[in-house]
Amino acid sequence: MFRALVLVALASLAAQQATFRTSVHTVVVYPLVVGADGHIVTNLDQGDFTIVDNGAPAEISVFSTATQPVTAALMLDTSASMEDRLVRVRDAALGFVNAISPADRLRVGSFGSEIALSPMLTGDKTILARVLREELWPGGSTPLWNALDAGMRSLAGETGRRTIVVVTDGVDTSSASQAAVATRAVGGLFMIYAIGLEGKGLSPKLIDLIGQTGGGHFDLRRDDNLASAFARLAEELRHQYLVGFTPAMLDGKPHTLEVRVRRPGMRVQAPRQFVAPLVK
């Protein structure tokens, strides 16, 4: 009986893997759909979606409602202004770690006096909790855009859904070119999420980049619950759809992208631009 169950499970896994086998020319995005009531919509099927590539409809070749593994860099602001909030941030981040699924992998990073990234990209919650408890040190300024760039570079060799999550309260003091960071985010189809703590708030340029990548942001006031923002983030990551298509022009150039839902009253959170694969 046990052997039969194992064989069934392996057959099911093989079928799932075959379903998601894609061409090297396939562009895969992970849209989130929110209803008019603010709740995440999870019961759509492939026929509910339309992909518009550079103004023209594109055929959807891959679709799934199954939860997709996340590969993420969690970048925490540890600048001097965060010193009295560091325990609050750490405890909320621990809740986020506890909420990830066994298939997810996370790398913890911080930015302040320096930008530090754990060498471990892992789903081991014990390791992630140790990093959060032992390797966050406050001080320095807020090299936010440099930190975004470092987080993306740390995931550059990874495949699948790659996400950068940043928590900050301050105005950027980076030396990084914001245009270059934005180009890396769009070209690599990174998804950026940000939680802005009470303070200066998230900059319009960062909010615009978040929208371009299909991510989301939360602006918190002093009495808002940071753990709730992390819980909503985890919920959104669990309920994004997988939609894949092949661009009509494989020209290696930036394309505009619209992911639409046919049902009325729904808002789609998805990338607004991508770089098409190049065929020489």
DSSP-assigned letters across all residues of 49-116: EEEEETTEEE-EEEEE-SPPPEEEEEEEE-SGGGGGGHHHHHHHHHHHHHHS-TT-EEEEEEESSSEE
Structural domain includes residue 122:
yes
Q: Give residue 107's pLDDT.
A: 98
Consecutive 10-residue averages of pLDDT for the chain (280 residues): 36 40 83 97 97 97 96 97 92 95 96 96 97 95 97 96 95 92 97 91 94 96 89 96 96 97 96 92
Q: Give residue 22's pLDDT.
A: 59
Strand stretches in the chain, DSSP E: 27-29, 32-34, 49-53, 56-58, 60-64, 70-77, 105-111, 115-117, 161-168, 191-196, 217-219, 242-245, 254-261, 267-269, 273-275
Residues 139 and 222 in one domain: yes
Report how far apart, in Å, the C-alpha atoms of 278 and of each of 247, 251, 252, 272 are: 10, 5, 4, 19
State the CATH number of the domain containing residue 135.
3.40.50.410
Structural domain includes residue 18:
no
Structural domain includes residue 8:
no
Structural domain includes residue 112:
yes
Backbone angles phi and psi of 76, in degrees to 5: -110, 130
- Global pTM reads 0.90
Number of domains forming the structure of the chain: 2
Domain that holds residue 184: 70-238
Q: Give residue 21's pLDDT.
A: 52
Q: Give residue 3's pLDDT.
A: 40
Structural domain includes residue 44:
yes
Strands 56-58 vs 267-269: parallel, antiparallel or unpaired: unpaired
Q: Give residue 13's pLDDT.
A: 37
Q: Are 272 and 256 in contact (CB under 8 A)?
A: yes
Cα dihedral 64, 66, 70, 74 sign: positive
Backbone angles phi and psi of 192, in degrees to 5: -110, 130
| Burial 169-198, CB ≥16 within 10 A → b, else e | bbebebebebeebbebbbebbbbbbbbbbe
Structural domain includes residue 17:
no
d(CA 109, CA 20): 31
